[in-house]
Amino acid sequence: MASVPPFETFYAEHAGEVLRLLRRRLGRERADDAFQETFLRALRAYDRLGHAEHLRSWVLTIATRVAIDAHRRAGERTDELPDVPHTDGRPAYEELAFLTDTLPPKERAAVVLRYGYDLDYDQIAAALDSTEEAARQAASSGVRRLRRRIT
Amino acid sequence: MTVPTELDLRFRETAARSGLLDAAYDVIESELGPLLAAVTDHGLARISFDPEPERELEALARLAGPRVLRTPRALDGTRRELDDYFAGRRTSFDLELDLRGLTEFTLRVLGELAKVPYGRTETYAELAARSGNARASRAVGMVMNRNPIPIVLPCHRIVGSSGSLVGYGGGLERKERLLRLEGAML
């Protein structure tokens, strides 16, 4: 397994996309601090990664968490953990969160990113290095699997 | 999306201050063209005449760890001493050096090399003799060729026994310019 590239290479490759994600979620002003925080968190963990796989989804996940933390600090109702209305047939994420640990990795990631982090399917596809359609399918089969377990 | 320069620099400086970096580097403009210089916690680890960082960064990551980042501020001390040297205001360097990962022989040769004074030259054979093996000139030549910190460790001051320049990792033209700067060649 290839080891991680020098941090400079990793940073240069993903900085633009991370900033775009953060600006969309936090607005231009707050995105700057979150950008810095994202790459500092990545830096802190970088020498323990030990492999070069999924670096993109890894850093986008960190950025998403940083954005959630920023919302929380600001005392805002986080739309990352939405009160998903039951009426449209989607489960409330809070009710399912404890179960997602048992899902297959891809489905778990898709479910958590969709319902936990409220990412769109194109963002999830980007984070998982897959297609929008595959992300949608993974999320929906994850949810189906969870439903079967609940009922 | 391009990251605005100010934000980019801010992250790089915070990263350097955080103490999380294994190595920091920058490209320093000099009389000899751009130089890539890198420092670690242990000191200056690399000066390269090849300013294309790709290969150098990989080597640095192997030496010091993967958290290698371009952080201009971290190279301020190195930049200042190199500027002074090229301006003729400095004849020796006060920089800490990071020579981890080198063999005992290489360290011995580089240690002796560091003693060759500004403006003077010495032959490969003389340096070999001072390093403990008069017949090791070829091996000494290899050490010069792979010198990780040229200019500061003055391999440009080592010449052939006939006085010819022989070779230089950064090209003979650079060797000649360094020796002229130091007044060693007329």
Name the residue range of residue A146's domain: 81-151
For residue B16, which residues of chain A lie inside 8 Å, CB to CB? none
Is B141 a member of any domain? yes
Contact B3 A39 (CB under 8 A): no
CATH number reported for the structural domain that contains residue B169 in this entry: 1.10.10.10
Tell me how many domains chain A contains. Answer: 2
Alpha carbons within 13 angstroms on the beta-carbon side of residue B153 total 27
pLDDT at A102: 72
Under 8 Å between Cβ of A81 and A94: yes
The range of the structural domain enclosing residue B135 comes to: 104-181
Block residue for tokens 């778990």? A108
Q: Residues of A with CB below 8 A from B55's CB? A: none
- Whether B174 and B139 map to the same domain: the answer is yes
pTM here is 0.75
Q: What is the pLDDT of residue A47?
A: 85
Question: Encoding tokens for residue B129?
Answer: 């003799």
Task: Say yes or no: A64 and A95 in one domain.
Answer: no
Could you tell me if B23 and B67 are in contact, meaning their C-beta atoms sit under 8 angstroms apart? yes
Query: What tokens were used for B147?
Result: 């010198």
Per residue in A79-109, pLDDT tens?
Answer: 444 433 333 344 445 445 556 767 777 788 8
Lowest mean pLDDT among A19-23, B103-107, B128-132, B170-174: B170-174
Is position B155 annotated as part of the catalytic site? yes
**A32 with B57: Cβ contact below 8 A:** no
Contact at 8 Å (CB) between A64 and A117? yes
- What is d(CA B36, CA B32) in angstroms, rounded to the nearest whole number? 12
Say how many domains are in chain B. 2
Q: Which of B38, B59, B86 is the endpoint of a domain?
A: B86
Same domain, A4 and A74: yes
**CA pair distance B143, B158, nearest whole angstrom:** 11
Interval B123-146: pLDDT, tens? 999 999 999 999 999 999 999 999
